[in-house]
């Protein structure tokens, strides 16, 4: 492995400009989602770019996979995974397979979609005109997560350039609508994409993520009774009732923090991120809506348990209120994703540790992530050994002036190439 790693390093040094150009060209393509994917997305040109790249690399198969509401409904019923009602005009996943010599297979998973740029006037350079300054490439999506996706593709190229045959099949899944809740990977997994090991190439600062939290987005709508504020006592303020319900949720969060612990993850939490209500300062609000996101732990918590306890806390608070007991709030879920956890002593994790050690000459740091990603889909639905690893800092996700450290990008190419050899040949 050391001799092969030295050869790979030497060729990587010669091809850095080419590999940087490939990433730059992908970042230059606008692939952002519209309304978190509900209104559609612009992924098509990015996927077409990758198809041409896979053709140039002589991939053994290239498949387009178009989303289906029926498949998402099935996943939602079976796994509580799937976000319905999204517009998929012109949107599709791309799967490329590079055949190996019969060893174990490996998949690298990445999403082609990005969030919108936001206020472009706040960017120092145009979001889709990538530029390298002081060893960093700037551009929308370069970190989240075109850097990791392209690094995995260039790892295959690096092995080919080194004249090293792939010991097992290498599959690249470039998926859409991750920013809409992970629908692209859900479609891929439900349609049978899988491998003996899966790497989700989200940015991890070159740390190995083997656990992340689950998430559920709740919408709570409260009814009140509108009157002029001068006669406030005659009406019922939906805003004040919302505050009472928020306090009940806070008490549940404190209880969870006492009950649930994880060695790699923070405690469970509930965040009120949006609140809307009322029409004027002179009118008692007859409607209030607030939206929350709950993050919960793998193992001791699950989707059903969280929903039951969360709604239970809300409705218990209503029983002690003369208005709310007869005008209970409407609670709905508009997005969710399960937690993820990979066994630390699994051979795939051990194999990654060895591959990282060969490439970097040191031990990899194993961590958990408070944010969810598609790793949950490959572990929980496809039932594949799964880890999350990629170049870039998670703090750059959805950030103005998003960037990736180019040294991390190049290191990831080498690490992925070593992992292909280490894992596939067993």
Same domain, 20 and 30: yes
Whole-prediction pTM value?
0.93
Kindly report the backbone phi and psi dihedral angles of residue 328, in degrees, each rounded to the nearest multiple of 5, phi listed first. -65, 145
| Full DSSP string of 72-108 | HHHHHHHHS----S---TT--EEEEEE--SSEEEEEE
When pLDDT is cut at 50, 70 and 90, the band that residue 163 belongs to is: very high
Angstrom distances, CA of residue 378 to CA of 40, 172, 195, 207, 328: 24, 13, 9, 19, 38
Does position 426 have pLDDT exceeding 90, yes or no?
Answer: no
CATH number of the domain to which 161 belongs: 3.40.630.10
> If you ran DSSP here, which 8-state letter would residue 120 be given?
G
Where is the domain boundary, 304, 322, 337? 337
> If you ran DSSP here, which 8-state letter would residue 140 be given?
T
Total domains present in the chain: 2
pLDDT digits (tens, 9 = 90+) for 17-54: 999 999 999 999 999 999 999 999 999 999 999 999 99
CA atoms within a 13 Å half-sphere pointing along the CA-CB vector of 343: 8
Determine what percent of the chain is predicted with pLDDT higher than 90: 98
CATH number of the domain to which 230 belongs: 3.30.70.360
Mean pLDDT, to the nearest integer, of 408-417? 98
Same domain, 164 and 104: yes
Does position 214 have pLDDT exceeding 70, yes or no?
Answer: yes
Query: Which residues is 168 bridged to in the sheet?
Result: 103
pLDDT of residue 209: 98
pLDDT of residue 3: 84
| Helix H or strand E encompassing 47 | helix 44-56
- Strand runs labelled E in 72-213: 93-98, 103-111, 131-133, 136-138, 168-175, 198-200, 208-212
Average pLDDT, the chain: 97
Mean pLDDT, to the nearest integer, of 197-209? 98
Same domain, 308 and 225: yes
CB–CB of 104/420 below 8 Å? Answer: no
Where is the domain boundary, 317, 337, 357? 337
Same domain, 202 and 293: no
Same domain, 360 and 309: no
Where is the domain boundary, 283, 316, 337? 337
Mean pLDDT, to the nearest integer, of 225-239? 97
Same domain, 160 and 188: yes
Same domain, 30 and 50: yes
Same domain, 10 and 142: yes
When pLDDT is cut at 50, 70 and 90, the band that residue 1 belongs to is: low
Same domain, 285 and 313: yes
Determine what percent of the chain is predicted with pLDDT higher than 70: 100
CB–CB of 56/155 below 8 Å? Answer: no
Peptide bond into 145 cis (omega under 30): yes
CB–CB of 340/215 below 8 Å? Answer: no
Domain span including residue 56 = 2-212+340-424
Same domain, 178 and 38: yes
pLDDT of residue 5: 87
Same domain, 256 and 167: no
Mean pLDDT, to the nearest integer, of 221-227? 98
Same domain, 73 and 204: yes
């Amino acid at each position: 492995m050391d001799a092969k790693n030295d050869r790979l390093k030497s060729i990587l040094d010669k091809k850095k400009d080419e590999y940087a150009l490939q990433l730059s060209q992908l970042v230059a393509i606008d692939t952002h989602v519209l309304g978190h994917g509900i209104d559609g997305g612009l992924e098509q040109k990015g996927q077409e770019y990758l198809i041409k790249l896979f053709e140039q690399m002589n991939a053994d198969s290239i498949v387009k996979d178009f989303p289906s509401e029926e498949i998402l409904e099935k996943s939602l019923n079976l796994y509580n995974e799937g976000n319905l009602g999204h517009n998929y005009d012109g949107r599709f996943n791309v799967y490329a397979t590079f055949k190996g010599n019969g060893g174990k297979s490996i998949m690298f998973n990445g999403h082609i979609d990005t969030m919108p740029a936001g206020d472009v006037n706040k960017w120092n350079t145009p979001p889709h005109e990538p530029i390298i300054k002081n060893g960093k490439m700037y551009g929308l999506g370069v970190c989240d997560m075109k850097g990791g996706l392209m690094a995995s593709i260039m790892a295959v190229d690096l092995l080919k350039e080194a004249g090293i045959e792939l010991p097992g099949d290498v599959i690249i899944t470039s998926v859409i609508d991750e920013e809409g809740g992970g629908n692209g990977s859900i479609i891929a997994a439900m349609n049978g994409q899988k491998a003996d090991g899966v790497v989700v190439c989200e940015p991890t600062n070159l740390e190995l993520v083997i656990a992340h939290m689950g998430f559920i987005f709740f919408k709570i709508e409260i009814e009140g009774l509108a009157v002029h504020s001068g006669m406030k006592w005659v009406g019922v303020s939906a805003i004040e009732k919302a505050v009472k319900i928020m306090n009940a949720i806070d008490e549940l969060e404190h209880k969870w923090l006492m009950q649930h612990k994880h060695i790699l993850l923070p405690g469970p939490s509930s965040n009120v991120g949006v609140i809307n209500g009322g029409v004027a300062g002179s009118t008692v609000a007859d409607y209030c809506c607030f939206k929350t996101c709950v993050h919960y732990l793998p193992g001791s918590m699950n989707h059903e348990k969280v929903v039951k306890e969360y709604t239970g806390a809300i409705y218990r608070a209503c029983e002690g209120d003369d208005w709310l007991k007869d005008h209970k709030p409407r609670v709905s879920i508009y997005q969710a994703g399960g937690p993820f956890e990979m066994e630390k002593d699994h051979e795939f994790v051990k194999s990654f540790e060895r591959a990282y050690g060969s490439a970097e000459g040191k031990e990899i740091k194993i961590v958990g992530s408070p944010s969810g990603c598609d790793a949950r889909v490959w572990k929980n639905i496809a039932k594949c050994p799964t880890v999350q690893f990629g170049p870039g800092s998670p703090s750059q996700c959805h950030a103005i002036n998003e960037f990736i450290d180019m040294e991390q990008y190049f290191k990831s190419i080498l690490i992925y190439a070593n992992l292909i050899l280490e894992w596939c040949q067993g």
